[in-house]
Structure 1
Amino acid sequence: MLRPLLLTLSLLTLTACAPSLTATLPNAATLALKEQIQRMALTFPATDIQLSSGLDGGLRLSGRLDGRYFSANFPPDWNRQTVLYAHGYRLPDDKQDTAASDLIQGDDTRGVLPTAYRQGFAVARSVYDKRGFAVQSGIANTLRLKRFMDDLGSTRDYVAGSSLGGSVVMGLIEKYPDAFAGALAGCGAVSDWQFEVKYLTDFRALYNYFARGTPYALPGTQDVTQSPLKVDPRELLKPVGQLFLRAKLNPGGREARLIDTIASAVPDVKVTPDITTFFASLGAQLFGLNDITATAGGIFASNADTVYHSPLLTAQENAALNAGIQRYRTSSPQAVAYAQDWYSATGRFKTKLLTYHNTADPLVPFEHEARLRVRVEAAGNTANLVQQTVEPRLQTLTRVLFYRVQGVEHCGFSPEQTAFAFAELRRWVEDGVRPQDGLDITRPPQKKTTP
């Protein structure tokens, strides 16, 4: 039984303290949409609905679907199409996620939703049931919101996502092949979570091995299958900051060599030996692994058969590394099955999918893209996949060290790059013009966007 709907109308008003702002009155189509929502109030599968008008004459809608917060923005010239967004990984905690009431002013999608909104699309997103490893609920909640938007009159839907949201995108288009016309995944974990978790866990195991007995060893448990308990996050990663500080002060010293050796020994990933890569990869593993294993019912990655090798080490040193590094194994077939279900891409989908990824990313390796392509090729489905690249973008860490230290940024995209990628996808879906596969969009080619 549906819970009673609480409908609240809150119209944005202008005050004398902001005389430069001029509100546009809602047009007939927006007023009709608002009236439609009010008429459907008693039958909506939603609660706590709130409506408000934007300065541009558009409509903001928020509330809960089956108890999950969602938000949507409708432009005044809604083209009856919707872009739904699946957000990325958020470190697990006990807080309940909420969705911004205004997805345009509160944008954290690197321009995905504002770009679509300016082009006449409604934009919408839902929170997940939990923080952390939440691909399963990300898929379910985004699909629920898509069907809700269709009930409001959306006739064509796109889905976009970043980081963990890229995995949500893959699950949606493979499990529900007719739901979306186009899909956009930026910096996404688009291949599988076994690869992602193994990358993060290998990184920690290598760090532990090489930092053992040095001032840079991490505090807390050294067991890479467990997250440290009761350790302040700042204290936990403090040795990493000290390591990079010493390396900057003495570029040719043992600390710099330690950093380079760890990075060069990570299997199957070309790792950038910078501070953001170490912080992001170690931080995600240290603070997130317990949640991942609790969600999946155990650890689903294994290094039992992995041969580690660094070109910076001698044969004897590499042999010692393989003999001395901690080995970890999958906990159970059930945990592996969960990771496969939520989510390992099959490469079989009908939706037009465009991915774009920094060629170096500190958290979600660029190698996800090659792994996805192998599966798409095996499925004979390359006609539905286009992959484009963006050069790494540097970010400066000034609060961690006294010295200016830079590293590559996770999901380091500009709004212009995002807008270009979305325009490419639109032309493909609407006009049948397939984008150039492998195109570097770091400096987007000057093309007319779809009006």
Structure 2
Amino acid sequence: MAVPPVAASAASTTASGRRTITGTIDGTDFRVELPQSWNGTLVLYSHGYLPEGFPSFAIGLTNRAPDRSETEAWLLDHGYALAASQFADEGFGYAVERGLHDQIALLDWFDANVGAPQHTVATAQSMGAGIATQLAERHPQRFAGVATMCGAYDTHATFNSGLDVLFAIRTLLAPDQDIDLVHPEDPTGSARALTDAIQQALITKLGQARLALAAALSNVTGWYSAHEPRPTDPVEQIHNQAEWLQYAYTLGFGPPGRLDLERRAGGNPSSNVGVDYRRQLTRSAQTTQVEQAYRTAGLNLRADLDRLAAAPRIAADPAAVDYMHHIAVPQGRTPVPVLTMHTLGDGGAPPHQERWYAEQVRRAGNPDMLRQLYVNRGGHCSFSAAEEIAMLRTLFTRIHTGRWPDISPRPLNQTARGLGDPYQLVLDLGRTFTDAPMPPAFTTYAPPRQGDCVVDRRAP
């Protein structure tokens, strides 16, 4: 096989006999960690979306950040080798195409310079989940299993859904402002105008109701903090939804994120042509909350849905749609076992993504090769090391025995709890960026359907 040139590499060995190797392959930084005694399994990690300006740190190998990754230490203690590419462009933006290329380049390098693994497991978080599942679909002979956390599998549908939310905000809350939702000429200014509209809406009951409607179009949850219980007060829920809308949607799926995506896709891949927002609301998991908010505000929901229906629509660039379908949409083939894990309160990558992926597997793969776990907690990717390790141990058992172990919440919580206190810390990624101990929270859950966000919205 052809191995891309290594521009630079360095290795160090600790007193325990572990080795760290860092370097670049084809201009992309990578990091490899080797245990003192390797058990033959390599864990290849694909990171999530990093917005421009996100604080830089060492290349991550697990869901927990490198400076606080108890999972990384546990895997090395148990003989697993770890590797990850940062992807080109320092890992920023929607680097799915580069991730698919750079991870295989790293795997080639590992084979040539360390040794061919007996088993390679693709792990990932958020945007990286689409990369990990596609790596196994495209290179089934090179992977033994896939484990994803807080997956945003289908970047194309995710941006369509983000367009729905921001279209509703612009139409209902900022109708007279010049805000570019696609092809942004002033992404910073457009994002600021959307954020201002959201903050102003929180002041009044009318604005709160319209925020609830916009959030419902993508099942954006009213549970933002990983460290706080699920809010029960309707107004507090809307304030939590507004935090998701400001930070995940306005920036990530809004004009700044779209500028990066359109550069990669060669145009705008998103469309809301033909989308029936009245129908989408009826299929949302949050219809009742929206209706209640409108009644409280004394506002006519039908009139606002009529305004959305009458507003000029946004068409996609067909070539950009084709790019996304080629690069960013897993087919659902399952040549190896796939295990997923998602928090119930995730509003950045709502858990309906798991339902969508399971439906893909039912159409194109083998449902017996897929298992899905849920954690009763708010936030995006807010898992403890104990929960991550319990998930990985489940997949390792499936790979080595050919059978899934019991994945009901009780044994999973017992396994996670048995790892001890240092493994129970959970990072609140959205609000405080601090750790706090949280009890294991595996639970049973059936994610909702998400309106029309996952249909093929090609330009007419």
- Is it true that 1:156 corresponds to 2:119 in the alignment? yes
SS in 2 for 1:446: helix
Instruction: Deviation per CA, 1:367-424: give whole Å up to 9, x if none.
Output: 111111111111251121111111232xxxxxxxxxxxxxxx2112111111110111
Question: 1:335 corresponds to which residue?
Answer: 320
Q: Mean alpha-carbon deviation: is it higher for 104-113 or for 130-139?
A: 104-113
- Post-superposition shift, 1:101? 9.6
Matches within 5 A, 1:89-100: 89-92=49-52, 99-100=58-59
Question: 2:394 corresponds to which residue?
Answer: 424
Give the alignment's TM-score, normalised by structure 2: 0.73
Q: Mean alpha-carbon deviation: is it higher for 294-303 or for 173-182?
A: 294-303
CA distance in 2, matches of 1:156, 1:327: 48
Matches within 5 A, 1:227-306: 227=184, 229=186, 231=188, 235=192, 239=196, 242-243=199-200, 246=203, 253-264=205-216, 266=217, 269=219, 271-272=221-222, 273=238, 274=240, 275-279=242-246, 280-286=248-254, 287-306=256-275
SS in 1 for 2:253: helix
Matches within 5 A, 1:380-391: 380-391=365-376
CA distance in 1, matches of 2:253, 2:60: 31
- List alignment gaps of at least 5 residues for structure 2: 223-237, 282-286, 292-299, 420-460
Instruction: Deviation per CA, 1:267-312: give whole Å up to 9, x if none.
Output: 5x35434233112122212221011111111122211111113553
- Post-superposition shift, 1:96? 12
- Post-superposition shift, 1:142? 0.7
CA distance in 1, matches of 2:61, 2:40: 19
- Residues 204 and 301 of structure 1: CA distance in aligned 2, closer, same or farther (over 3 Å): same
- Residues 226 and 442 of structure 1: CA distance in aligned 2, closer, same or farther (over 3 Å): farther
Counterpart code for 1:281: Y
- Residues 323 and 110 of structure 1: CA distance in aligned 2, closer, same or farther (over 3 Å): farther
- Is it true that 1:124 corresponds to 2:124 in the alignment? no
- Is it true that 1:222 corresponds to 2:179 in the alignment? yes
- Residues 270 and 228 of structure 1: CA distance in aligned 2, closer, same or farther (over 3 Å): same
Counterpart code for 2:108: R
CA distance in 2, matches of 1:189, 1:141: 19
SS in 1 for 2:131: helix
CA distance in 2, matches of 1:183, 1:121: 15
Q: Alignment RMSD, CA only?
A: 3.2
Question: 2:335 corresponds to which residue?
Answer: 350
- Post-superposition shift, 1:233? 9.3
Match of 1:369 among 354, 365, 383: 354
- Post-superposition shift, 1:177? 0.9
Counterpart code for 2:75: A
Counterpart code for 1:196: T
- Post-superposition shift, 1:204? 0.9
- Post-superposition shift, 1:254? 3.0
Counterpart code for 1:420: A
Counterpart code for 2:250: L
CA distance in 2, matches of 1:105, 1:271: 23
SS in 2 for 1:73: strand
- Is it true that 1:410 corresponds to 2:412 in the alignment? no
- Residues 90 and 156 of structure 1: CA distance in aligned 2, closer, same or farther (over 3 Å): same
- Give the count of matched residue pairs: 376
Question: 1:307 corresponds to which residue?
Answer: 276
CA distance in 2, matches of 1:60, 1:320: 58
CA distance in 1, matches of 2:62, 2:321: 36
- Post-superposition shift, 1:235? 4.7
Q: Is the 8 A contact 1:71 1:124 kept in 2?
A: yes
- Post-superposition shift, 1:211? 1.1
- Residues 162 and 44 of structure 1: CA distance in aligned 2, closer, same or farther (over 3 Å): closer
Question: 2:297 corresponds to which residue?
Answer: none
- List alignment gaps of at least 5 residues for structure 1: 3-42, 248-252, 394-408
Q: Is the 8 A contact 2:195 2:250 kept in 1?
A: no
Question: 1:147 corresponds to which residue?
Answer: 108
Match of 1:193 among 151, 155, 166: 155
Q: Is the 8 A contact 1:361 1:410 kept in 2?
A: yes
CA distance in 1, matches of 2:334, 2:60: 33
- Post-superposition shift, 1:234? 8.9
Q: Is the 8 A contact 1:357 1:411 kept in 2?
A: yes
- Is it true that 1:445 corresponds to 2:391 in the alignment? no
Question: 1:202 corresponds to which residue?
Answer: 164
- Post-superposition shift, 1:150? 2.2
Question: 2:26 corresponds to which residue?
Answer: 66
Question: 2:303 corresponds to which residue?
Answer: 316
CA distance in 1, matches of 2:108, 2:410: 33
Give the alignment's TM-score, normalised by structure 1: 0.75
Instruction: Deviation per CA, 1:127-185: give whole Å up to 9, x if none.
Output: 21232111111011111111222231232211111111001102101111111111111
Question: 1:76 corresponds to which residue?
Answer: 36
Q: Is the 8 A contact 2:62 2:124 kept in 1?
A: no
Identity of aligned residues (%): 22
Using CA pairs below 8 Å that are at least 6 residues apart, which structure has the higher relative contact order?
A: 2
CA distance in 2, matches of 1:207, 1:129: 33
- Post-superposition shift, 1:426? 0.7
CA distance in 1, matches of 2:9, 2:60: 11
Question: 1:28 corresponds to which residue?
Answer: none
CA distance in 1, matches of 2:250, 2:77: 38
- Residues 349 and 443 of structure 1: CA distance in aligned 2, closer, same or farther (over 3 Å): closer
CA distance in 1, matches of 2:61, 2:392: 21
Indicate the structure with greater helix content.
2
